[in-house]
Structure 1
């Protein structure tokens, strides 16, 4: 089949990454099945407003808390992008006790739907760099590099700095689910030729199709807004990873499509174009955006000598288009446009 005849599914199509990815796929001529938790959501209008949507977009209602609902969207597809992830637990759920259980069960069901379809060639899972901490198992020190061999130690006895229950649940959820997804590549019973790719993404900045600032954009701008909650998330990320892996939303979506369009690809590929400290981000804001009066104390953070050592995506031929400067500039421009700044 010609690439443009491929039919692809995007779970979580109304999300920050999902909506941007759906738009890119449509622009490239693919037929897209996208899922949303509710077709009555305002995000539905955004997706249906894309230029190619009338001819090439089909929307489905599906919720990770009822994962069997994804079956219809996956049927007949050649590739599946699993972007959806539960951020907050549904307290009324009797099926799962937390988001970790919901994410794991949902991902397993989606994988089985891909397998049953008989058409899906590759399942691409949107993971988080939170799963890739270079912390040693005892939490006392960092390894020298962050790369695909790094896994965040899920040890209840460790006290991660700046974390709360939400950070902990999300880190456990993304780490355990990614490991589960990758295990299917080594399934002794075979996966019928179905390949699994995971893409742990860094902190995502840049633009948005949504009318509001996503959580990651808010974290990128926390040094400007002074919001204590989003700043705590930024500090948590740095304390877990040594520094902050940054990546532009456009590069994230291009990386996903790159992992689809390659003839054969499976395994884990970290996705970030720069690896900087909070102090470096603050310094850039102070120098180039003095009107925001970023606190000088943000520049005085301690320095950790951990390097970004992941080159797997680039070795495959992927090229990042956005550096630190462009990521931060585009994030500020976007936030101004949507009225967040």
Structure 2
């Protein structure tokens, strides 16, 4: 595919979010016409952010659409060749037609797939997944497998109850991302997809800079060991207990990976997306060594086997190259938080 192919329209759901806004900026810079969805077009700060992006004039069209009203997406997807489904429900809306975020997320992915089919122009649907769906823990919760790769799926059973610590958000997010990724991959096998390819990018903990006016939640988690933010630290510990170590990926690499999957001649299936797979001890040591001005939380091994190997090379085997290692990502998170006045 030719970069910025004349008349090529792409759709990005969740356009005003951390990944969505960065992805839109890159797509516009490459010359694509972008249809972006937001939950509320009356939100002047979010609309203003996207309209202020370079090359947005005449190349960016905004649509109001909400995962909780999945039929909203038809207009945004109409005429598009590629669709990036980045949006995900984070907090449940009481009184909605869905019982929880998992049901809403699954219904949303199904509806967006059907919108792609109805459009008749979509060649490929690319879904932004999360590594919380790819735990190498064994089904019975007795320990970890030897490696973490695309064959790993988080067990959705009571054996992992101890990891969630009765936290409804952590459990809800894990279930919603796991179930919705499984569903969207199954759509790629459906005959009524009209030959449409489906890709899931199962992204690690995302960090780096941001276009937003505040430090993104995932960026706060990346630097939780030096921030007085217990909620973020609980999320970081949760990832360690779920995955063995912390898969990290820079937001710029995440968006380049999305565009790589779009511009590839043919690609489908599940791809883990992370440039580094490190322990909490390694993260803490980096901060202690390079940022002595901060009081860094001490980390100790708890005795549970943690020598799981990051065994995913699928994306790189296709030709993708990461530009940011763990040090660069963590340093960019520090810079971002300082710019926002958070540290």
TM-score by structure 2 length? Answer: 0.96
* TM-superposition CA deviations, 1:46-66 (whole Å, max 9, x none): 000001111210000000000
Residue in 1 that maps onto 2:51: 48
- Pick from 66, 69, 78 the counterpart of residue 66 of structure 1: 69
1:185 deviation in Å?
1.9
Residue in 2 that maps onto 1:180: 183
Q: 2: CA distance between counterparts of 1:291 and 1:2? A: 48
Q: 1: CA distance between counterparts of 2:98 and 2:158? A: 20
Instruction: Assess, with a 3 A threshold, how the Cα gap between structure 1 residues 301 and 223 changes in structure 2: closer, same or farther.
Output: farther
- Runs of 5+ consecutive residues of structure 2 not aligned to the other structure: none
- Pick from 103, 110, 114 the counterpart of residue 108 of structure 1: 110
The count of residues paired between Structure 1 and Structure 2 equals 338
* TM-superposition CA deviations, 1:246-305 (whole Å, max 9, x none): 01000000000000000100000000000001111001000100101213x225565611
Residue in 2 that maps onto 1:139: 141
1:130 deviation in Å?
0.3
Q: 2: CA distance between counterparts of 1:3 and 1:270? A: 24
1:214 deviation in Å?
1.0
1:157 deviation in Å?
4.2
Q: Is the 8 A contact 2:3 2:30 kept in 1?
A: no
Q: 2: CA distance between counterparts of 1:92 and 1:231? A: 31
Work out whether 1:91 is the aligned partner of 2:94.
yes
Q: 2: CA distance between counterparts of 1:147 and 1:160? A: 23
Q: Is the 8 A contact 1:135 1:152 kept in 2?
A: yes
Q: Is the 8 A contact 2:281 2:300 kept in 1?
A: yes
Work out whether 1:224 is the aligned partner of 2:226.
yes
Q: Is the 8 A contact 2:213 2:340 kept in 1?
A: yes
Q: 1: CA distance between counterparts of 2:337 and 2:265? A: 37
- Pick from 232, 237, 249 the counterpart of residue 235 of structure 1: 237
Q: 1: CA distance between counterparts of 2:178 and 2:207? A: 22
1:162 deviation in Å?
4.8
* TM-superposition CA deviations, 1:219-265 (whole Å, max 9, x none): 01110113111100000000000000001000000000000000100
Residue in 2 that maps onto 1:22: 24
- Runs of 5+ consecutive residues of structure 1 not aligned to the other structure: none
1:210 deviation in Å?
0.2
1:161 deviation in Å?
2.1
Q: Is the 8 A contact 1:162 1:232 kept in 2?
A: no
Residue in 1 that maps onto 2:260: 258
Q: 2: CA distance between counterparts of 1:18 and 1:145? A: 30
Q: Is the 8 A contact 1:79 1:121 kept in 2?
A: yes
Q: 1: CA distance between counterparts of 2:110 and 2:283? A: 38
Work out whether 1:39 is the aligned partner of 2:59.
no
Q: 1: CA distance between counterparts of 2:119 and 2:225? A: 46
* TM-superposition CA deviations, 1:88-140 (whole Å, max 9, x none): 000131x1010011101111000000011110000000000000000000001
1:213 deviation in Å?
1.0
Q: Secondary structure at the match of 2:129?
A: strand
Q: Is the 8 A contact 1:205 1:328 kept in 2?
A: yes
Residue in 1 that maps onto 2:294: 292
